[in-house]
Amino acid sequence: MVCSIFFGGILAQDCPMYYPDMENAQLEYKQYDKKGGLTGSSIQKITSIKKSAGSTEVTVAAESFDAKGKSLGSIELKARCEGGVYYIDMKNFMSQESMEAYKDMEMKMEGGALEIPASMKAGDVLKNGDMKMSFSSGGMTIMNITMNISNRKVDAVESITTPAGTFECYKISYDVAMKMMMNMKSKGVEWYAKGVGMVKSETYSSDGKLLGSNVLTALKK
């Protein structure tokens, strides 16, 4: 699960974001299984930052690789901050292998924005998020995917150290329910740092067993 994510000046006070405020900045991640074995990697590169009064939109090119470095596909992600709220693109929670399989089809999407408020503290409850994606070809629907992220809360504010450095992070936990041919449920924990983005994430089965992790290993500006 790839998942992502930041400002200076006056906008930072009103609308903090979770990506570096610099075009061409690059975040590199490595994914591990439950035993710590490398399963893949990913790179997120900021291709565009557009600012207007009270809002900022960031476009990110994300590419995933397998454990041997072979590309598994790329996807464009969007993030924005508006009215003191930061919005995460829920496509971050989709595997890029899945997205690559439908890249030549027409896609329709409803919802898909997950909120992070400007001001947070341990114990805060955050809004749920919903996304529905429909893929079609020749006027025929091939696949429907629905996702619901619920029970989101800020567990703590803590310092996290990775190969990319040490970051002060908000630790956010949540539940995921996804339907893609079959129903799947899981749990997640993510650590976000202002001005950087996602520093680390962990995915768990519905009964709380660790399935894997995603770690920021390099930050290039």
Among 21-25, 60-64, 179-183, the range scoring the smallest mean pLDDT is 179-183
Contacts with 180 (C-beta within 8 Å, 6 or more apart), sequence order? 98, 143, 145
Cα gap 128→19, rounded to integer Å: 21
Bridge partners of 202, per DSSP, are: 189, 213
pLDDT (0 to 100) of residue 8: 34
pTM (two decimals) = 0.84
* 35-61 per-position pLDDT tens digit: 999 999 999 999 999 988 878 999 999
Asked whether 126 and 34 are in contact (CB, 8 A), the reply is no
d(CA 180, CA 87): 24
Torsion of CA 130, 153, 11, 76, to 10 degrees: -40
Residue 117 has what pLDDT? Answer: 86
Check residue 3 and give its pLDDT: 42
Q: Is 39:67 a contact under the CB 8 Å cutoff?
A: yes
Q: Is 182's pLDDT higher than 90?
A: no
Query: HSE (CB half, 13 Å, CA atoms) of 19?
Result: 32
Cα 213 from chain centroid (whole Å): 13
- Which residues pair with residue 149 across a beta bridge? 129, 176
Give the whole-angstrom CA distance, residue 80 versus residue 40. 27
Q: Is the pLDDT of residue 1 over 70?
A: no
How far is the C-alpha of 203 from the C-alpha of 189, rounded, in Å?
7
Give the Cα separation of 59 and 100 in Å (integer).
Answer: 18
- Domains belonging to the chain, first-starting first, are 10-220 (2.40.360.20)
pLDDT at 96: 60
AA letter at 162:
T
Q: What is the pLDDT of residues 76-128, one digit of tens each?
A: 888 988 888 899 888 777 766 666 666 778 878 787 789 988 789 999 999 99
Greater confidence (145 vs 26) lies with 26
Task: Please tell me the predicted confidence (pLDDT) of residue 123.
Answer: 96
Mean pLDDT of the chain: 87
Answer whether residue 5 shows pLDDT above 70: no
